[in-house]
Amino acid sequence: MVFWVSVGMLLYVYVGYPALLALVAPFCRQPNKQPGYLPRVSVLIAAYNEEAHIGQKLAETLALEYPPEKIEILVVSDGSSDQTDAIVAHCADPRVKLLRIEDRKGKTNAQNEGVKQCTGEVIVFSDATAVYHPKAVQYLACHYENPSVGAVSGRYQYFDPKGESPMGLGSIAFWNYENMLKKLQSRISTLTGCSGCIYSVRKSVYTTLPAAACSDLVEPLHVVRKGYRVVFEDRALAHEETTKSSKEEFSMRVRVVSRGIGGILSVPELLQFWRHGWISFQLISHKVLRWLVPFALILLLFSNALLLREPAFRVFFLLQVLFYLFGLMSTLVPLHRRWKPLGIPLYFCTLNAAALFGLLKMLRGQKYVIWETVRK
């Protein structure tokens, strides 16, 4: 029973839930908005020690295809100790502003403080390392013509410029899968989470969040709680480089999971299925059960080990062991350089090990507020 329940949970999380969305989505027609509605927009970039990227980011943002008189750029420097502030301060374009926070309090706090200074009707949250499609802001902004829309998420796509990252193909495949789910969820009704490096919120709907909150998950939940829709716009594309090692990916995922669990627990009423049917179903299927996958994997392996008398169970056990061995070997030998799909077991194991550690850290009361810049 433990074996088959574990198999069933894994199949539902990775196959069953997406299949249900794919079956329902064709019966739900959402309007395909075209660019044209152009509200005043504030692009808010929370940055910590981003001297290597902030200059290029400003240049790319200023070059976006959006009316110059309707866009401003606010860089919120979260106690940066390098040349980030100086680079921003020396930018001659009057649309660029700098807000410095002396004591580091984390990205979410930086966004809270930044929103207070923004003059736009719509706030676009970006990372210093994210490269936007020239029309990305237009695609985000056009949805706000509909007064029922409170937030719009763009799509981000990872790339591995040198093809050397053990996380490369896994990250790319995972986020293509995530973007597919977001597109289906949005088509049916609303999202419950956004893409961290490219999402927007109607300023009048923005909720000031605790510093430890994961803003790209918790902010959309508050938008939904207020009765607004969160839309996914896949034409609003942002590119970001993959992490360069399994250690970086693991640390980042532990932080994301820990903050994500805390975020959902901060709005527990959205998990009440009898009050918020679709929202609750989406959160449980897409988030809660996904975070519980490590426990299902552990139970699957050990229950399978107790069923080795049957030939079919022996084959399945061998496949599991080989999968985990490939993941372990990839931490020692760069197997992905010989054949990229060999990097997928390592990414899958890293993702789920991080979910397990993130959950344990959350239960121990450990919170992640500040972040470190790892890309150079």
DSSP 326-371: HHHHHTTS-GGGT-GGGGHHHHHHHHHHHHHHHHHHHHTT------
Q: Is the pLDDT of residue 284 over 90?
A: yes
pLDDT of residue 322: 92
Domain count, the chain: 1
The per-residue pLDDT for range 241-281, each reduced to its tens digit, is 766 667 777 888 888 888 888 888 888 899 888 888 889 99
pLDDT of residue 103: 85
pLDDT of residue 369: 56
Q: Is the pLDDT of residue 371 over 60?
A: no
pLDDT of residue 258: 84
Q: Is the pLDDT of residue 364 over 90?
A: no
pLDDT of residue 333: 67
What average pLDDT does the segment 50-69 reach? 95
Contact 311, 320 (CB under 8 A): no
H or E segment and range at residue 22: helix 17-24
Q: CB neighbours of 151 closer than 8 A, spacing ≥ 6?
A: 191, 194, 199, 200, 201, 202, 205, 219, 220, 223, 228, 229, 230, 231
H or E segment and range at residue 43: strand 41-47
pTM of the model: 0.87
pLDDT of residue 173: 78
Q: Is the pLDDT of residue 327 over 90?
A: no
Q: What phi and psi, each to the nearest 5 degrees, are found at residue 182?
A: -60, -40
pLDDT of residue 375: 45
Please, which pLDDT band fits residue 214 given cuts at 50, 70 and 90?
confident
Q: Is the pLDDT of residue 40 over 50?
A: yes
- 310: how many CB neighbours lie within 10 A of its CB? 9
CA atoms within 13 A on the CB side of 13: 20
Give the domain CATH number at 163: 3.90.550.10
pLDDT of residue 125: 96
Residue with tokens 């893409």: 195
Average pLDDT of the chain?
A: 88
Which domain, by its residues, includes 181?
1-376
Q: Is the pLDDT of residue 131 over 50?
A: yes
What average pLDDT does the segment 354-366 reach? 83
What average pLDDT does the segment 85-105 reach? 93
